[in-house]
Structure 1
Amino acid sequence: REHFAREVLVLSPWHPTLSPAERNASDSTIRTVAHPEAVVALAKDQPGVPVVVEVLTSLRRHGVQPTDLESLIRPLDELDVRGFALHLPLDEQGAGTKVKDVISWASRLTDAGLSPHTLWVSHLSAAELAQVRTTLSTTTIKPRVGTQLWHGNREHFAVNATVLDVHEVAKGDRVGYRQQSAPKDGHVLVVSGGTFHGVGLEAPSVSRGLAGRGKAVARTGLQAFGKAASPFWLAGQRLWFAEPPHMQVSMVWLPGDMAAPEIGAPLTCQVRMTTAHFDEVFGL
């Protein structure tokens, strides 16, 4: 509250078993509830607190189910219900599936006597959002845009690492914890950024199509021979790990035909924003 005087919606669902110490949150906190027992617990212990009720979509991560609605009418009357949330999948099975899911849930809530005056929705395109707003014209639709912020236009931010050390090596020289041999004459760069920062970490992805599966097989084959591309770039060229990243730093190969940077020089770094942890953030 010292830095932000308005209300904050906590997206992770509150549950009395998992977060008993958070039962008495500040007045500026709006909780998300996604289980009948969580609704009942808050209605009993803190009547009048603001909540957003998450309902179960085809994503099937969190949410109350249609069969829960009737039993929730009375406890929800004891709470300040700010609306209902639908966490939708990124992909959909068939055209218009996500839009239909939102409209269907609005009907279920209305039929159950729970007024869906406000719906929080995620992963809808501009066209899908417009379609939902046209169909549910009396409902306030609030898009959640965290994914667009974290995975949006990369031109709005830049991630850099710093060169901490530079070592000249000849082909066959051994380096690192695992004593990998240098593939060619060149340099080993020690750069800031290790597993603590999210370097070398990635979420599993679904390979689609022959091209995507081919790339996945190629990456696996290279890694089997100790070769892995790093997220660090110099002069428009991607550098290869000399060995798996350490906790705080990484060691990468620099080919002999490239000029070695000075200690303190920046390297461009392409990391997954949802797994990255930065030492410093500038420009905010």
Structure 2
Amino acid sequence: MALSLYVDTARWRAHQKTVIDQFPGVIPVCKGNGYGFGHERLADEAARFGADMLAVGTTYEAAKIKDWFSGDLLVLTPFRRGEEPVPLPDRVIRSVSSVDGVHALVGARVVIECMSSMKRHGVREEELPQLHSAIEDVRLEGFALHLPLDRPDGTDAVEEVIGWMDRLRAARLPLHTMFVSHLRAEEQARLQQQFPQTRFRARIGTRLWLGDHEATEYRGAVLDVTRVAKGDRFGYRQQKAASDGWLVVVAGGTSHGVGLEAPKAMHGVMPRAKGVARAGLATVNRNLSPFVWAGKQRWFAEPPHMQVSILFVPSDAQEPRVGDELVAHLRHTTTQFDRLVER
């Protein structure tokens, strides 16, 4: 019995097609844990819909995926002098975010990242004149801009890209290809219309693979059910049951990513109030699990174990049975499933 990822394959692929149709020349991104599907599966999907390039996070990922994808591989993490050398084929393209990095990659295929309002990494405007001599020794695939997801100050993503296009043109640098991230389809279309001689290529991961939330579902199988009365002790720490009910052992623990949660940026009074409430409950060992039974998200009876979680289901709910599956609201990018089930 397992933590399973169920995929409605026809629906999942239909969503992929809508994204591909909206973004001509899209470059699918396959990084981390493969957005919950795994690198091999996403490489197969990218090949299936005819992608000529696949973006990966690191050189280590490129070294693995090269055996599953025959097209070009774009490494998104910028090159740094002194990094561990990883043997890679010539079809691997390196991202570079500094003039020094360009100088160090003689003969390599490179994409040069420009410093966007993300302020994460990239060459700055004042460094552009230095790129003239540097790019003579590399095979320049184009420039790139990684843009923020939100713009609370009301700035325009298209105007930010145009600003960089103007700077690159003023510096007499080639503008045959611009790689972009986090633009809407209509924004990319505006740019393509304004700069017909430049090919804009969107690097897309989350929207492509996870954009249709109804196409996938995690479920954990029930392994054991034990009735407890109020006051009964249980578990590693021998806590007392708060009321009558059942201890439900379900597949899915910390090795699967259950119990892991990335920090969230909270905006507004209500989300902050809920966050404070959750933190307060955690101090008295009340932690909500991702597992749903009888229409309700159930509480962890104790912190999740390595491969299973123990939930508390009160006696006023239907008793779970061994073999039942509980839907689990899990984050794809932090979850490792035991099996994938195509539907």
Q: TM-score, normalised by structure 1?
A: 0.91
Matched, 1:211 2:270: yes
Letter in 2 for 1:194: G
Does structure 2 retain, via aligned residues, the 8 Å contact 1:171–1:183? yes
Give, in whole Å, the separation in 1 of the partners of 2:69 and 2:319: 45
Give, in whole Å, the separation in 1 of the partners of 2:123 and 2:323: 52
Equivalent residues in 2 for 1:1-284, closer than 5 Å = 1-17=66-82, 19-22=83-86, 24-43=87-106, 47=107, 49-149=108-208, 151-283=210-342
- The C-alpha deviation readout for 1:212-266, integer Å capped at 9, x for no partner, is 1111112112212211111111232211111121222211111212233332322
Q: How much has 1:270 moved relative to structure 2?
A: 0.9
Give, in whole Å, the separation in 1 of the partners of 2:289 and 2:209: 21
Does structure 1 retain, via aligned residues, the 8 Å contact 2:158–2:187? yes
Letter in 1 for 2:100: E
Identity %: 44
C-alpha change, 1:150 and 1:220, in structure 2 (3 Å) is: farther
Unaligned runs of 5+ in 1: none
Does structure 2 retain, via aligned residues, the 8 Å contact 1:150–1:274? no
Q: How much has 1:59 moved relative to structure 2?
A: 0.7
C-alpha change, 1:215 and 1:148, in structure 2 (3 Å) is: same
Give, in whole Å, the separation in 2 of the partners of 1:112 and 1:280: 52
Q: How much has 1:28 moved relative to structure 2?
A: 2.1
Give, in whole Å, the separation in 1 of the partners of 2:133 and 2:143: 16
- The C-alpha deviation readout for 1:24-72, integer Å capped at 9, x for no partner, is 52122111111222211112xxx1x221111111111121222222212
Q: SS state of the match for residue 277, structure 1?
A: coil
Higher RCO (CA 8 Å, separation ≥ 6 residues):
2
Letter in 2 for 1:40: H
Unaligned runs of 5+ in 2: 1-65
Letter in 1 for 2:77: S
Q: How much has 1:96 moved relative to structure 2?
A: 4.0
- The C-alpha deviation readout for 1:67-92, integer Å capped at 9, x for no partner, is 22221221212212111111111111
Letter in 2 for 1:63: G
What is the Cα-based RMSD across aligned positions, in Å?
Answer: 1.9
Q: SS state of the match for residue 121, structure 1?
A: strand
Give, in whole Å, the separation in 1 of the partners of 2:308 and 2:127: 50
Letter in 2 for 1:28: R
Q: How much has 1:174 moved relative to structure 2?
A: 1.9
Q: SS state of the match for residue 158, structure 1?
A: strand
Give, in whole Å, the separation in 1 of the partners of 2:340 and 2:175: 39
